[in-house]
Structure 1
Amino acid sequence: MADDYDQSVESFLNQVRVGHLPYGTTTKEVSAIFEQFGTIVNLFLKRRISRDSSVFLSHPYVFIVFDKSDTVDQVMAARPFFMGDCQLFVRRCLPITRKYPYEAFLTVKKILIRTESEKNDEILPDDKTIVEYLTAAGGKIEYFERLNNKTVLVQFDDYDPVDICCLSRPHLINNQLVEIEKCSNEEQARLRIEFQQKSHSVSTELSSTSMTSDIDNRTMNINSSTPTLSIDDEITQLRSVYNKITNHLECQHEQLVASLSSEWEQTAKERIRLQRLTLDYKQEYERLTKENRQWKKSFSDSLREKPDVQDEGERKLQEACRKTEIAMGTHNELIKNTQ
C-alpha cells in the first residue's frame, strides 16, 4: 500500500528542472528557449533562497510543466542548451517518496538492480536479458557488473536513462519483479553486499552446526576441531566489516556536515555582500535623487530667467543698431564735407 505522503509519479512525467541559469534571467527568456518543443502549462522561476529571504541565488533555476510527457523526451534529446555563456543543466523531475526520499535530488549515472524478494533462492535474470530490458531507457551502457546473484551494478553514459528507470517503476524482467534504484555510493553498496554475504555465511554455518549438534553432540565434541573458533572468527570478520561500514558512514556524515557548513558560510558571506551592496546602492540612489532635484531646480530657474535675458539682449541689440545708424550718418557727413 502506497504511503499517503508519497508523491504520484504521473504528475512528474511532464516536468523538467532547468538549472545553471544566468543571474537576472526572466521567465520570458526561459520560455523562448523551451516553448518550441511544446505548450508550457506552468513555469516557476526560483530566484531567492527562500520565499521571504532577501538573498538572491547566483544561478536561479526553473521548473517547467508541459502539457504532454512526450515533450520532455524531446527536450532531453535536444540537449545541451545555452543561455549566453552558461550551459543550462536540464533533467527530469522525480517524485519524493518515503522509500526514496533523496532520489529527486541526486544526479548519477549508476543504478543498482536487486531482487525484490529476500528469499535466498531467488536470483536475477541473466545479464543479456537485463541489458535488453534496459535498452528501453535509452542511453549507452558503459559498465555492467553482477555483484552477486541478487544485485547488478550498471553505469550509463548519461544521467537521463537513470531518471527514466526511476520514473518507470515497477520493473518486471521476465515476469520477475525487480527493484531499480540510483547508486550514489558504489563503495558503500559493495560493503553492504559483503556484509550480507558474511551474515548469510555465518547463519548457514550456525544452522549446520546446530543440526549436527542435535544429531550427535558427543561425536561433535570429540571429533570436531574447535568449531566455535571458526564461528568466532566469522563474527570477528563481521564486526570488522560492520565497523568499516560504520566508519565510512561517519566519514560521509562528517563530509556532508562540513560541505553544508561551507555552503552555509558561503551563503552567509554572499548575503552580507549583497546587503552591503544594497546599502551602497541605496546611498547612491539618494545621492542621485538629491542631485536630480538640484538639476530640476536649476532648470526651472533658467526657464524663469530666460525672458529677462531675452529682453536684455533685444534692448542691447536695439541700442547697438541706433549707435550704428548715428555712426553711419557721421561718416556720410564727413565724406560730403571732404568733397
Structure 2
Amino acid sequence: MPAYIDQSFEQFQNHVHVSNLPIDVNAKRITDIFQQFGIIIKLYLKRRISKDSPISLPNPFVILVFEKKANVDKVLAGRPYFMNDNQLFVRRCLPITRRYPYEAYVNTNKILLRIPRENHDAILPDDNIIIDYLKAAGGKILRLEKFEDRTVLVEFDDYDPVDVCCLSRPHFINGQMIEIEKCRDEQQARRRAQFRQKSRSVSLKLSPTLTTADIDIQSYNTISPTPTVNIDEQVAQLRLTYSDMNNRLEDEHEQLVSSLKAEWEKIAKQRIRLQRLTLDYKQEQERLIEENQRWKKLYSECLQENLHIQTKGKQKLLDATEKYSITKRYYDQLIQDKNQ
C-alpha cells in the first residue's frame, strides 16, 4: 500500500478541510474568514489536478493547519460559512489507515460501535453507558439502535461528532476496547449483524458428541468411547469462517465503491465543466462569425458608397468642366466683340 497509509491520528487534530470553494478563491480570502479563530500555521490550497496541470478543479478545496485543536473546535462551531454564493463545507481532516482507508472521504452522521472480532464472548456495555461516553464527542444523539449484543448504531444530529469519534481512537468503555467506525449503509450493517448473530447462535447450540467405537469382543471385551468429528460443528465453523471472509470482502468492496464513487463524481464534475466550456466556446464562435459577417457587410456597403461617391464626383467634375468650357467660349467671344 502507499507510504501515506497508517497516518497517525495526532497529526490531524489541528487540520480543517474546506471544500465547495468558488473558482476565483485565493489564500487571502480564506485567511480573512478563518484567521479569527486562531493562528493558521499552514494553508494548502488545491485548485488544479496536479501542480503542473493546466486543468483546474471544478471545486477547489483547502486544508488549514491551526496552532491548537481548540481553534478547530471553534471553526466547526461557527458553521455555516459563505464565499460568494457558495456555502463552504467544513470538516475535520481524518487520516488514511489500513483499517479504514476510505473513511476520510465519507461524510455521515452515523457510527457503528462493535466488539473486536477477536473477543468472541464479549458484549457491548449498557446503552446509557454508551450514551454517557459519546457525550464527549459533542452534538446530540438522535437515535441509538442495538442490532445485536455486539453491534450498536448511533445517529447524531451532525457529522462532526462522528469525525471526533474517529479521531479519538482507540476507544475504551469501562475498560473494554470498542471499535467505532462510520456507517455508510445502515441496512447493510443491520443485515450483517443479524447474520453474525444467527451464526453465533447456531455454533452455541452445537456441542461435541461422543460415539461408541466398535466392540471387539474377542480381543478386549470392553467398550471404548472415542470422540468423533461432528459434522454440524464443522458446518458451523465453516459458516463462521465464511461470514468473516464475507464481511471482510464486503468492507473492501464498500471502500472500493466509495473511492470509485468519489472519483466518478470528480470526473463527472470535470466533464460538466468541459461541456460548459465547450458550449461557451461554440457560443463565442457563433458570435464572432456573426460579428465578422456584419463587418464584411459594412465593408461592402462602404465600398459601394465609395464607388457611388466617386461616380457622382466624376459627374460633377465633368459638368463643371463643361460649364467652364462654355463660359470660357462666351468670354472669348465677348473679348473679340469688344476689340472689333
TM over 0.5, shorter chain: yes
What amino acid sits opposite 2:39 in the alignment?
T
Q: TM-score with structure 1 length normalisation?
A: 0.67
What amino acid sits opposite 1:150 in the alignment?
R
Give the distance between the partners of 1:247 and 1:80, measured in 2 at CA. 35
In the alignment, is residue 105 of structure 1 matched against residue 108 of structure 2?
A: no
Offset of 1:273 from its aligned partner? Answer: 4.9
CA 1:169–1:257 in structure 2 vs 1: closer, same or farther (change >3 Å)? closer
Contact 2:147 2:194 in 1 (8 A): no
How large is the RMSD of aligned CA atoms in angstroms?
Answer: 4.1
Offset of 1:136 from its aligned partner? Answer: 0.4
Give the distance between the partners of 2:258 and 2:104, measured in 1 at CA. 21
CA 1:4–1:252 in structure 2 vs 1: closer, same or farther (change >3 Å)? closer
Fraction of identical pairs, as percent: 48
CA 1:65–1:248 in structure 2 vs 1: closer, same or farther (change >3 Å)? closer
CA 1:138–1:202 in structure 2 vs 1: closer, same or farther (change >3 Å)? same
Give the distance between the partners of 2:21 and 2:119, measured in 1 at CA. 48
**Counterpart in the other structure of 1:264:** 267
* Structural mapping, 1:107-186, within 5 Å: 107-116=107-116, 118-186=118-186
**Counterpart in the other structure of 2:63:** 63
Contact 2:102 2:258 in 1 (8 A): no
- Structure number with greater Rg is 2
CA 1:107–1:274 in structure 2 vs 1: closer, same or farther (change >3 Å)? same
Contact 1:139 1:157 in 2 (8 A): yes
**Counterpart in the other structure of 2:323:** none
CA 1:119–1:10 in structure 2 vs 1: closer, same or farther (change >3 Å)? closer
CA offset digits 1:24-54 (Å, max 9, x no partner): 1111001000001111111111112333332
Give the distance between the partners of 2:79 and 2:170, measured in 1 at CA. 28
**Counterpart in the other structure of 2:309:** none
Please list every run of 5 or more consecutive structure 1 residues that lacks an aligned counterpart in the other structure.
219-226, 285-339
**Counterpart in the other structure of 2:44:** 44
Give the distance between the partners of 1:32 and 1:84, measured in 2 at CA. 14
Contact 1:139 1:156 in 2 (8 A): yes
Secondary structure of the residue aligned to 1:35 is helix
Secondary structure of the residue aligned to 1:16 is strand
Contact 1:55 1:271 in 2 (8 A): no
Contact 2:4 2:96 in 1 (8 A): no
* Structural mapping, 1:1-339, within 5 Å: 5-116=5-116, 118-206=118-206, 208=207, 211-212=208-209, 214-215=210-211, 264-268=267-271, 270-271=273-274, 273-274=276-277
What amino acid sits opposite 2:204 in the alignment?
T
Give the distance between the partners of 1:11 and 1:252, measured in 2 at CA. 23
Contact 2:6 2:97 in 1 (8 A): yes
What amino acid sits opposite 1:159 in the alignment?
Y
Contact 2:137 2:165 in 1 (8 A): yes
Higher helix proportion (structure 1 or 2): 1
What amino acid sits opposite 1:55 in the alignment?
I
**Counterpart in the other structure of 1:308:** none
Contact 1:16 1:91 in 2 (8 A): yes
CA 1:86–1:259 in structure 2 vs 1: closer, same or farther (change >3 Å)? closer
For these two proteins, the number of residue pairs brought into alignment is 270
Give the distance between the partners of 1:51 and 1:118, measured in 2 at CA. 45
Please list every run of 5 or more consecutive structure 2 residues that lacks an aligned counterpart in the other structure.
215-229, 289-340
Offset of 1:69 from its aligned partner? Answer: 1.1
What amino acid sits opposite 2:49 in the alignment?
I
CA 1:101–1:274 in structure 2 vs 1: closer, same or farther (change >3 Å)? same
Give the distance between the partners of 1:82 and 1:277, measured in 2 at CA. 27
What amino acid sits opposite 2:274 in the alignment?
R
Contact 2:18 2:61 in 1 (8 A): yes
Contact 2:102 2:259 in 1 (8 A): no
Contact 2:58 2:270 in 1 (8 A): no
What amino acid sits opposite 1:166 in the alignment?
C
Give the distance between the partners of 2:20 and 2:155, measured in 1 at CA. 25
